[in-house]
Amino acid sequence: MPAIIVVGLQWGDEGKGKMIDILSQQAEFIVRSQGGHNAGHTLLTQGQEFKFHLIPSGILHAHTRCVIAGGTVIQPKALLEEINELQKRGVSVKDRLFISPSAHVIFPYHVLLDALLESLRGKEAIGTTQRGIGPCYTDASSRQGIRIAELIRPSALRRKLQTTLPHVNATLASFNKAPFSLEEIVAEYSGYGTKLSSFVAPAEEMIYDAIKQSRPVLFEGAHGTYLDITFGSYPFVTSSHTLAAGVACGAGVGPTRIDHTLGVLKAYTTRVGRGPLPTTLTSKEHALFLPPERAREVGTTTGRERRLGWFDAVLARHALGLSGVDSIALMKLDILDSLDSVKICTAYRLNKEKISLPPQTEEEWEEIEPVYEELPGWKKATSSIKKLKDLPKEARAYLDRIEELLKIPFSFVSLGPDREQTLVLHNPFCPHALSAS
């Protein structure tokens, strides 16, 4: 059985959670390997809504084992709240959730520093979730981070904090902020360590053994391609590597062990917070879309409305190459059902010249103009359709044009939030299964 990575190809919020939920039906291990509780997945299954931030959404399938790998950053209180919420709703996590001792821990000073640094930027603020993700990754890179391995050992936690806190408090003093108390943090976080210790396991070894034994493993990417710290729309990015290679690296898995990479795209484009969105809808076009609540375009983590844009084939094409995508899941086609026409950005214009790659500088992002193709809309509901051939011909033409531009086949087309509202054209876990074509 294969090892599959699911990766977002836009600015996050593409619908990866739904694809993880569908593929988890065949997976034995589901792995989250980068980012922290700044990510969010919302799933609607059997009439129930579940929101995930750290725990892989495959936990809803009773046969799965879920791993939070070493490339993540963990806020222990948030993770414990997520565990408790699942248990209250009847989802068992005992002997099913495993945490790598190599994952780094988010402390209160990371959250405060995140907010202070964002406020310093003023009008140039990036729009972070202010959950301490960036400062935690900064500590990891500067070799002064504290990991789960220390969190579950009170003496090690104290020793590490004794080294780290003086530097933190010196920085806070420059902002005229009160210092953090060593004893208070040790007391609070030792308690978290005690509660989480039963979940800590040699996660990377578990993943390696599962792949070696040909057991199905699913890697759950967080965020999206253009939030990648290196290849995203810098500086409006997250602090981790969000490409398929970053997902594998954060899980401690060599790239040759991955059999299939599934790229997830919305049928249009969205992003939360500041930063470029070349295909942003005009106010008139925005009025024709469903309201954000009905379109399900409110951030799971931030509660902020997402900005809307037309499908951007330039960004999608480039993202496919960055992650070596084998097939595509196209999500939320149903949101376009009410439109008279739909647009696809096929190129950009910069300084009167057509370009076919994303820009590199903030100035160029601001200056580019999208070049559109306009196609007729279908003005028919698609959410109950079960076969690709039964889609309105205009919707089929829209899909065909996107596939033609990207030169990568579709594996899934999503027509609504429910698991059942999905056309399965090719399941990489079950390559010989009947399709919905």
Options 37, 41, 53, 110, the catalytic residue: 41
Query: Does the annotation count 41 as an active-site position?
Result: yes
* 260 labelled catalytic: no
DSSP string, 257-322: G--EEEEEEESSEEE-SSS--TTBPPHHHHHHSPPTTTTT-B-TTT-PBPEEE-EEHHHHHHHHHH
End-to-end CA separation in angstroms for the chain: 24
Strand (E) or helix (H) holding 110: helix 108-121
Question: How is residue 387 annotated by DSSP?
Answer: S
DSSP state of 202: -
**Residue 97 main-chain phi, psi, to 5 deg:** -115, 130
Q: Give yes or no for a contact between 325 and 263, defined as CB atoms under 8 angstroms apart.
A: yes
Using CA atoms, how far apart are residues 375 and 366, in angstroms rounded to an integer? 26
Minimal CA–CA distance to 82: which of 192, 210, 219? 192
**Cα separations (Å) of 343 from 106, 271, 377, 402?**
42, 18, 9, 11
> Structure tokens of 4?
């599959």
Q: Which residues are catalytic?
A: 13, 41
